[in-house]
């Protein structure tokens, strides 16, 4: 949890992964250990379009470059665009055409005012479609795009002038990559064939040493040619030029309209064209979204697996640490002054279905990975028993009476929540007040029991030792009001 500079971070077995809040960690019930994002394998489950909630095959997504074929986003506010229909009247001229005699009389009477042309007749209505944003009211007509005759699949796609050059560059460097890969494979093969035993190698080196003065020297094989970098006989490689386009005459005098100029974000969203004016912005094809499942690297069991249906937000498997590890929070935090002892209220929340005795011990600064402790902390020297989680307690005022708590240690207890006191004395005048402690408790593992065939076996009790890094925020200044107390839910 993090609020007003307060952090409670948990560490995992992975030393490269820095401590994280409990909500961002996973708990493997098979390994009985905390897992971070670097401790799991990410597997692609499905690809779908968020605006239409439609699953898309992986092959189609790769061909479309992870973009939708029909859905577009607004280039101004990035919201989905809706297809609007409009009925346009179809006009036609009268079927009768003027004869040659009428044309001659019209020429003779050119001095007189000409009569009004015959009115056009409406023969029907033609339906057309355009895209519109319901948030910022941007439409495809603002970008001077022609209306489409059908509702989907007929929107034009713009290609930049350098598209052919970029395609040729990609093709050229793909050949270069293949040639380098073949050269590396050939080098590995030659090294494997050249391995000899120690005795044969020494004798061969001796013979080569005697003949080195007379024999020819070894020359490396020339690099394979992968073709020229050209398009239609013209070199397309990028070259620097000293020619700079001159500025317009009114560049310094013309007033700048900020509302007509695109932002950097809008330009980066369309890297092919990079429009400068808002009127040149075009609708962007909607990005596809993927759902991933996470698997433990050690036991290869799933830790998170979402539902295949994109319209559902539930998970088939979701082993987040919040459901298996006691959650430690800072409930009440008074201002912390240099070299003054204050009492901080800390709460423990037990998400398990059995009572958990928890023991807290301060970490030693000599331990690997422990941050520098800038406070003298006094933790409870006894076990703190947190009651089991019961869903029926939320519907009534059932308070546990089986625990005899010391009022000097325990501040409050209700259901599976426990609040207790700790004493903190900052040892630095400037900086954050931080310390680390070990949270030791017993976890009742039922996974191993479910995997066994014997029904008489009892669940296994596993002892866990987790390191928790706590940051209580910066040291208060002497001018601060001592009556100010931060209450963190």
Tens digits of residue pLDDT in 437-470: 999 998 888 765 444 445 455 677 888 899 999 9
Exposed, middle or buried, 28 (CB in 10 Å: 0-12/13-18/19+)? Answer: buried
pTM of the shown model: 0.66
User: Which run of H or E residues covers position 63?
Assistant: helix 58-63
Residues of the chain predicted below pLDDT 50: 1-3, 97, 101, 103-116, 196, 198, 213-215, 218-224, 231, 449-453, 455, 481, 483-484, 489
What pLDDT, on a 0 to 100 scale, did the predictor assign at position 456?
52
**pLDDT tens per residue, range 4-62:** 568 899 988 776 677 888 888 999 888 888 888 888 888 988 899 888 888 888 888 88
What pLDDT, on a 0 to 100 scale, did the predictor assign at position 7?
86
| Cα 411 to Cα 405: distance, rounded to the nearest angstrom | 9
| Cα 460 to Cα 454: distance, rounded to the nearest angstrom | 14
Exposed, middle or buried, 75 (CB in 10 Å: 0-12/13-18/19+)? Answer: buried
161 φ/ψ sector (left φ>0, alpha ψ -120 to 50, else beta)? alpha
Pairing state of beta strands 26-28 and 2-3?
A: unpaired
| Cα 344 to Cα 418: distance, rounded to the nearest angstrom | 14
The answer to whether the CB of 438 falls within 8 A of the CB of 369 is: no
The answer to whether the CB of 351 falls within 8 A of the CB of 326 is: yes
302 Cβ contact partners less than 8 Å away, ≥ 6 residues apart: 293, 294, 295, 296, 317
Of 169, 60, 84, nearest to 134 (Cα)? 84
Distance of CA 286 to CAs 34, 75, 78, Å? 36, 11, 9
| Cα 344 to Cα 421: distance, rounded to the nearest angstrom | 6
Torsion sign across C-alpha atoms 404, 405, 408, 412? negative
What pLDDT, on a 0 to 100 scale, did the predictor assign at position 170?
85
Q: What are phi and psi of 288, to 5 degrees?
A: -85, 150
**pLDDT tens per residue, range 231-274:** 455 555 667 778 888 888 888 888 888 888 899 988 888 887 88
Largest CA distance in the chain: 120
User: Which run of H or E residues covers position 448?
Assistant: helix 447-451
| Cα 56 to Cα 290: distance, rounded to the nearest angstrom | 10
| Cα 371 to Cα 479: distance, rounded to the nearest angstrom | 29
118 Cβ contact partners less than 8 Å away, ≥ 6 residues apart: 93, 94
Of 75, 93, 88, 71, nearest to 146 (Cα)? 88
User: Which run of H or E residues covers position 466?
Assistant: strand 460-474
Torsion sign across C-alpha atoms 239, 242, 243, 245? positive
Distance of CA 288 to CAs 50, 61, 154, Å? 7, 8, 20
Q: Which residue has the tokens 């033609």?
A: 126
213 φ/ψ sector (left φ>0, alpha ψ -120 to 50, else beta)? alpha
In the numeric block, which tokens belong to residue 17?
A: 């992964």
| Cα 363 to Cα 373: distance, rounded to the nearest angstrom | 9
Torsion sign across C-alpha atoms 173, 176, 182, 185? negative
What pLDDT, on a 0 to 100 scale, did the predictor assign at position 439?
92
Of 465, 466, 474, 467, nearest to 434 (Cα)? 474
What pLDDT, on a 0 to 100 scale, did the predictor assign at position 255?
87
Of 325, 464, 326, 346, nearest to 386 (Cα)? 326
């Amino acid at each position: 949890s993090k609020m007003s500079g307060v952090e409670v971070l948990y560490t995992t077995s992975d030393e490269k992964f820095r401590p994280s809040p409990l909500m961002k960690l996973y708990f493997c019930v098979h390994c009985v250990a905390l897992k971070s994002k670097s401790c799991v394998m990410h597997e692609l489950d499905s690809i779908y379009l968020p605006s239409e909630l439609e699953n898309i095959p992986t092959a189609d997504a790769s061909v479309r470059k992870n973009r939708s074929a029909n859905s577009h986003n607004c280039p101004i506010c990035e919201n989905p665009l809706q297809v609007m229909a409009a009925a346009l009247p179809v006009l036609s001229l009268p079927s009768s055409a003027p004869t040659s005699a009428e044309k001659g009389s019209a020429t003779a009477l050119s001095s007189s005012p000409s009569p009004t042309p015959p009115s056009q007749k409406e023969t029907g209505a033609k339906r057309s479609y355009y895209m519109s944003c319901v948030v910022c009211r941007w439409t495809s007509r603002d970008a001077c795009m022609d209306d489409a005759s059908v509702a989907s699949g007929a929107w034009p796609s713009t290609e930049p002038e350098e598209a052919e050059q970029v395609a040729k560059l990609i093709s050229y460097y793909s050949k270069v990559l293949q040639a380098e890969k073949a050269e590396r494979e050939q080098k590995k093969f030659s090294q494997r064939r050249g391995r000899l035993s120690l005795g044969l190698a020494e004798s061969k080196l001796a013979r080569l040493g005697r003949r080195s003065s007379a024999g020819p020297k070894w020359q490396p094989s020339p690099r394979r040619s992968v073709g020229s970098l050209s398009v239609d006989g013209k070199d397309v490689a990028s070259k620097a030029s000293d020619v700079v386009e001159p500025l317009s005459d009114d560049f310094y005098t013309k007033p700048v309209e900020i509302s007509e100029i695109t932002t950097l974000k809008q330009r980066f969203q369309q890297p092919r064209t990079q429009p400068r004016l808002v009127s040149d912005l075009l609708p962007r094809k909607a990005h596809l979204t993927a759902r991933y499942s996470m698997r433990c690297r050690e036991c290869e069991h799933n830790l998170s697996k979402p539902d295949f249906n994109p319209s559902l937000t539930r998970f088939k498997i979701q082993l987040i640490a919040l459901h298996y590890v006691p959650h430690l929070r800072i409930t009440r935090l008074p201002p912390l002054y240099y070299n003054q002892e204050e009492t901080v209220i800390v709460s423990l929340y037990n998400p398990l279905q059995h009572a958990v005795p928890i023991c807290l011990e301060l970490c030693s600064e000599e331990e690997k990975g422990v941050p520098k402790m800038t406070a003298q902390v006094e933790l409870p020297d006894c076990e703190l028993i947190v009651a089991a989680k019961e869903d029926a307690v939320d519907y009534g005022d059932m308070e546990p009476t089986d625990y005899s708590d010391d009022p000097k240690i325990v501040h409050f207890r209700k259901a599976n929540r426990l609040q207790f006191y700790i004493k903190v004395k900052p040892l630095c005048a400037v900086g954050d007040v931080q310390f680390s402690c070990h949270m030791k408790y017993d976890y009742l593992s039922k996974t191993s029991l479910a995997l066994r065939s014997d029904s008489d076996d009892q669940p296994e009790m596993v002892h866990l030792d987790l390191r928790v890094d706590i940051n209580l925020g910066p040291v208060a200044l002497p001018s601060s009001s001592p009556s100010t107390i931060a209450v963190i839910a």
